[in-house]
Amino acid sequence: MVLRGLSFFYVGLLIILPILAISAEALKGGFPNLWTNITAPAALASLKLTFLTAFMMVILNVITGTATAWVLVRYEFPFKNLMNALIDLPFAIPTVVTGIMLVALYGPNSPVGGFMEKKGIDIIFARPGIIMALLYVSFPFVVRAVQPVLQEMDKDMEEAAKTLGARPFTIFRRIVLPTLLPAVLTGAALSFSRAIGEFGSIAIVSGNIPFKTQVASVYVYGELESYNPQGALGLSVVLLLCSLLILIFLNRLQVWSRKHAAA
Amino acid sequence: MGILVDHISKRFGDFVAVDDVGFTVEAGELVALLGPSGSGKSTILRIIAGLETPDRGEIFLTGRDVTSLSIQKRKVGFVFQHYALFKHMSVEKNIAFGLEIQKQNKDYVRDKVNELINLVKLKGYEKQYPDQLSGGQRQRVALARALATEPKVLLLDEPFGALDAKVRDNLAQWLREFHHKLNITSIFVTHDQNEAIEISDKIVVINRGRVEQFGDARSVYEHPDSKFVASFIGQVNVVDAVARDRELYIKDTAFRIENRTGEPLRDGDVVLLVRPEDVELTAESGKDAVPVEINRIHYRGSHYEIDCAVGGIELHVSENKNNFQRQQWRQHQRVFAGFKNYRVFEAEEGHHRIHEKLKELGYIE
Amino acid sequence: MQRHDEIPSAGAVKVVRKPNGLGKNLITAAVIGWFLVMILVPVIGIVKQAFGSGWKPFISSLLTSATGHSFILTLAITAAAVVLNTFFGVILALTLVNQRFPGKLLFEGLVDLPFAVSPVVAGFMFIILFGPKGWMGQWFEAGGVKIVYAVPGMLIATLFVTLPFVAREIIPVLREFGLEQQEAAYILGASRWRTFWRVTLPSIRWGLAYGVTLTIARAIGEFGAVLVVSGSIINKTQTATLHIHQEFTDFNYVGAFSAAIILALLSFVILTAMQRLNRRKGV
């Protein structure tokens, strides 16, 4: 079958082979070596920073993304369509441009950044900047995951809750949120996955200070630039494993939510 | 002290959904809001519940003016057409919801939920989720949930609309008995005349946002106030009679016919049901022929509809074109009506039995 | 019979009015505010900074050979990536929707993999695979063809990160509409090829166009993987994004910002296309 052959060839060459190659390379040196790589102080610090900032960003994104989806679906206001279209902007803008924009706006030379610097708060070349960059590039994920579910949602259940005496906030907490949960989790997982791997915007915005503002992806880049691919392998493998886990999680989530979709 | 709907009007944009509607429901009554799709009946129900606000008019529930009261405070029980069960909660959590909002203590909630589960005959299904239940079961959960908070008023929006015919019948019956037990003031919306006649105390017939007629099933059925009601309810002649010996005395008249249906009857009040096409008009008197006067004649293409009257009783007769042209009936002509084919029921059987039989016979859909 | 006969006339009837929700307005304002500050204002900020020193520096930084070369390279790689991934994307979609084979689910999951992989790790994978000492690289090396630290490697990296887009957009459309129409065509006697051209392809065209737009956006914006694989050699293996990075790290801010603006403008155009096509494709 020609079609099947071509498909296998393409996916094999571009996806399967590279994964196998890096896995083999990692295993070649043996486990102890890999472990040393991963637990090198700078590497470990970058991993911690990566997960910490990703986690904080996801929390923020879930809240703001859900609120944004809610407002877009349930309320009317001027320029709503325009705003809805612009939600996808982070998907269309190159990550380096995002980094540049944030530096322009919040860097030490900008009005906002300079002001904050005097107060002792650094945005660019510090953690807040990283979280902002991650938030920018992942913003659409939660919104776009939640929007269709909110749109399709039967208002019936909310009305029923009202007749049973529930106030708006209770309805949101006990009826709406549980229904939205799978979509929110999907958006959160996608954001998290994006965040741990994000490079372009962080490279510009973070200043790459080891132990302070260096994330895992930047660490890997650093090792490669220093012609130390061995050093890069450890974290690469960790990141890849995380990616795989998240993919599996997302897949399970989809299956689970489809099962409960009836009624 | 039941429900008073007073001069309610509502429009959506240019569309007038409800136009100066008013009626009452006495305490403990089960009233049907009957009308075709788009007649505004669901809107009226939702206004009573507070899910919509009327442009004009007032709603009184158990004597209180609730027009400006929020949905949450009205304390009505509402059953939605598609049940609106909380999909992510089990049956017992669904039922418990209203009680938890009221902050009742755990024991009370548990007992009340159990009581209701037994009432709606869903014992054993407490921990199941809505998507594991059949349509009829879901509807019962919806009912239990609505009743958990002991509302003074129960509103049902096409409760059986989404169910199969068979299930619908059973559930309708069950609702009627249920209502007898609880005696809670209730309104239910339906487009199905049989349902309305079968289980309600009174019917409010709604068309195009207005009340066409309001009364008990019998009067709506037998004395339709308007052409709409008559045609919507369907054409069956319902004739009061008294059974004695083997004869049926047409009530309020001196006429009698022999009971030829073959059904044994006790003496007493009965009801005689005959289809328009089963009434045969003759110029000469004959055995078992009742003298009638022709009031109106309607041309219907393939047949004629002839409205006659005997005493206070109206008879609708349907005669095919050829027959009519042979006979040449005229308005105000006195003729004789023979009942070719009819059914008799004891009046005590109650409305719902009558109409069960009517359906069986194919008199009505 | 009717109760309303006994009720006083319309003059005494109450008119009901509903108050505006305060909570609603607060939330809406908060969300709009957040959106403006987070998403829109940065775009405006960059315009300010690029023109900070005036028009002249802006124009002149754009006209350097490095800038020109990088943009042309971006365009070329993007074009090639679009062509290849559209072709193979359609093939992948057809295979996944029409055919049954063991491991199909896993295969389908693999197509999604590039979404989850960090760009630098992706670049790293290709260096291992196609580097001079790599599994496949050694053969190319022997033949005198450079893959990594050269344009071919950059293309391959871009192909990797943009692989899923077209396939993912087409698959649901095919699943929902395509199969029945295909079968109808076969029954009517059309050959596979003919069916594909005149039935299948037209039914997926809007999804396809949307996927292509996403591919373009991603290819233009790709940074990490290409940076690693290319070595970022000025005038040789720098794309537009790499060029911006170079300028920035050289403290040539005007150069960085002006190139960034061009790309941002391009993004807006792409975004508009995305929106229009999103609506057209329905599903």
Per-residue pLDDT band for C9 (boundaries 50, 70, 90) equals: very low
Residues from chain A contacting residue B66 (CB–CB below 8 Å)? none
- Closest-CA distance, B260 to chain A, in angstroms, reads 52
- Interface-testing mutation among B4, B6, B12, B70, with chain C (most C C-beta atoms within 10 A): B6
Judging by beta carbons within 10 Å of its beta carbon (0-12, 13-18, 19+), is residue B302 exposed, middle or buried? exposed
The reply to whether residue C4 touches residue B24, judged by beta carbons under 8 angstroms, is no
Is B196 in the same domain as B94?
yes
Residues from chain C contacting residue B6 (CB–CB below 8 Å)? 4, 7, 13
The string over C107-125, giving b where at least 16 C-beta atoms fall within 10 Å of a residue's C-beta and e elsewhere, is bbebbbbbbbbbbbbbbbb
| Dihedral of the alpha carbons of A111, A112, A113, A115, in degrees to the nearest 10 | 80
Domain of residue B60 covers 3-227
Q: What is the pLDDT of residue C4?
A: 37
A199: nearest CB among C23, C34, C119? C119
Question: Which residue of chain C is at minimal alpha-carbon distance from A93?
Answer: C267
Query: Does the pLDDT at position A11 exceed 50?
Result: yes
Domain boundary residue, one of B185, B205, B227:
B227
Q: What is the pLDDT of residue B193?
A: 78
The reply to whether residue A104 touches residue C257, judged by beta carbons under 8 angstroms, is yes
Q: What is the pLDDT of residue B352?
A: 55
Alpha helices (runs of H) in B50-164, residue ranges in sequence order: 71-74, 91-101, 106-119, 135-147
B316-365 pLDDT, tens digit per residue, is 888 888 888 888 888 888 888 888 767 666 665 555 555 565 555 555 54
Q: What is the pLDDT of residue C252?
A: 84
The percentage of chain B sitting over the pLDDT mark of 90, rounded to a whole number, equals 29
Is B276 in the same domain as B251?
yes
Q: What is the mean pLDDT of residues B270-278?
A: 76
Per-residue pLDDT band for B264 (boundaries 50, 70, 90) equals: low
- Asked if residues B239 and B247 have their Cβ atoms less than 8 Å apart, the reply is no
Instruction: Give the best-scoring range by mean pLDDT among A17-21, A256-260, C97-101, C134-138.
Output: A17-21
ipTM of the complex: 0.87
The reply to whether residue C15 touches residue B211, judged by beta carbons under 8 angstroms, is no
Q: What span, in angstroms and rounded, lies between the C-alpha atoms of A233 and A244?
A: 16
What's the predicted TM-score (pTM) here?
Answer: 0.74
> C62, C101, B183, B207: which is closest to A1 by C-alpha?
C101
The reply to whether residue B102 touches residue A165, judged by beta carbons under 8 angstroms, is yes
Q: Minimum mean pLDDT among A62-66, B298-302, C166-170: which range?
A: B298-302
B215: nearest CB among C1, C7, C13? C1
Residues from chain B contacting residue A172 (CB–CB below 8 Å)? none
Q: What is the pLDDT of residue C11?
A: 41
The reply to whether residue A164 touches residue B98, judged by beta carbons under 8 angstroms, is yes
Q: Domain C56-282: state its class.
A: mainly alpha
Q: What is the pLDDT of residue B261?
A: 61
The reply to whether residue A160 touches residue B84, judged by beta carbons under 8 angstroms, is yes
A263: nearest CB among B75, B98, B130? B130
Tell whether B277 lies on the interface with C, counting CB pairs under 8 A: no
Q: Which chains touch A (3 or more CB pairs under 8 A)?
A: B, C
Is B305 in the same domain as B347?
yes
Per-residue pLDDT band for C199 (boundaries 50, 70, 90) equals: confident
- Interface-testing mutation among B51, B52, B69, B101, with chain A (most A C-beta atoms within 10 A): B101
The CATH number of whichever domain residue B61 belongs to comes to: 3.40.50.300
Domain boundary residue, one of B227, B244, B279:
B227
Q: What is the mean pLDDT of residues A4-20?
A: 90
> Measured over all CA atoms, what is the biggest interatomic distance in chain A, rounded to whole angstroms?
68
- Asked if residues C135 and A28 have their Cβ atoms less than 8 Å apart, the reply is no
Q: What is the pLDDT of residue A73?
A: 92
Residues from chain C contacting residue A258 (CB–CB below 8 Å)? none
Per-residue pLDDT band for C1 (boundaries 50, 70, 90) equals: very low
Higher pLDDT among residues A176 and C275, named by residue: A176
What phi and psi, each to the nearest 5 degrees, are found at residue A162?
A: -60, -45
Tell whether B222 lies on the interface with C, counting CB pairs under 8 A: no
| Dihedral sign computed on CA atoms, order A199, A201, A204, A205 | negative
Q: Which chains touch B (3 or more CB pairs under 8 A)?
A: A, C
| 101-160 in chain A: CB under 8 A from chain B | 154, 156-157, 159-160
Is B88 in the same domain as B222?
yes
Q: What is the mean pLDDT of residues A58-65?
A: 95
DSSP characters over chain A: -HHHHHHHHHHIIIIIHHHHHHHHHHHHT-HHHHHHHHHSHHHHHHHHHHHHHHHHHHHHHHHHHHHHHHHHHH---TTHHHHHHHTTHHHHS-HHHHHHHHHHHHSTTSHHHHHHHHTT---TTSHHHHHHHHHHHHHHHHHHHHHHHHHH--HHHHHHHHHTT--HHHHIIIIIHHHHHHHHHHHHHHHHHHHHH--HHHHHHSTT-TTTT--HHHHHHHHHHTT-HHHHHHHHHHHHHHHHHHHHHHHHHHHHHHHTT--
Per-residue pLDDT band for B87 (boundaries 50, 70, 90) equals: confident
Tell whether B112 lies on the interface with A, counting CB pairs under 8 A: no
B98: nearest CB among A156, A165, A175? A165
| 167-186 in chain A: CB under 8 A from chain B | 167, 170, 174-175, 178-179
Q: What mean pLDDT is reported for chain A?
A: 88
Is B73 in the same domain as B156?
yes
Q: How many Cβ pairs closer than 8 A exist between chain B and C?
A: 47
Is B326 in the same domain as B350?
yes
Tell whether B130 lies on the interface with A, counting CB pairs under 8 A: yes
Query: Where along chain C do its domains lie?
Result: 2-50, 56-282
The reply to whether residue C3 touches residue B24, judged by beta carbons under 8 angstroms, is yes
Residues from chain C contacting residue B24 (CB–CB below 8 Å)? 3
What number of other Cβ atoms are within 10 A of residue C78's Cβ?
23
Residues from chain C contacting residue A110 (CB–CB below 8 Å)? 45, 49
Q: What is the pLDDT of residue C203?
A: 80
Is B190 in the same domain as B62?
yes
Higher pLDDT among residues B203 and B216, named by residue: B203
Is B180 in the same domain as B279?
no
Token pair for residue C108?
A: 């389908």
Q: What is the pLDDT of residue B58?
A: 92
Is B322 in the same domain as B221?
no
Query: Does the pLDDT at position C57 exceed 70?
Result: yes
State how far Cα B8 lies from the chain centre. Answer: 22
Query: Does the pLDDT at position C227 exceed 80?
Result: yes
Is B175 in the same domain as B279?
no
Residues from chain B contacting residue C20 (CB–CB below 8 Å)? none
Residues from chain B contacting residue A175 (CB–CB below 8 Å)? 86
Per-residue pLDDT band for B123 (boundaries 50, 70, 90) equals: very high
Instruction: Give the best-scoring range by mean pLDDT among A52-66, A142-156, B242-256, C119-133.
Output: A52-66
Q: What is the pLDDT of residue B227?
A: 52
- Closest-CA distance, A260 to chain B, in angstroms, reads 7
Domain boundary residue, one of B193, B227, B261:
B227
Q: What is the mean pLDDT of residues C98-121?
A: 88
- Interface-testing mutation among A153, A155, A163, A171, with chain B (most B C-beta atoms within 10 A): A163
Is B16 in the same domain as B46?
yes
Per-residue pLDDT band for A159 (boundaries 50, 70, 90) equals: very high
- Closest-CA distance, A243 to chain C, in angstroms, reads 5
Q: Please state the domain count of chain B.
A: 2
Per-residue pLDDT band for C8 (boundaries 50, 70, 90) equals: very low
- Closest-CA distance, A258 to chain C, in angstroms, reads 15
Q: How many Cβ pairs closer than 8 A exist between chain A and B?
A: 73
Q: What is the pLDDT of residue B271?
A: 74
- Closest-CA distance, A140 to chain C, in angstroms, reads 10
- Closest-CA distance, C19 to chain B, in angstroms, reads 11
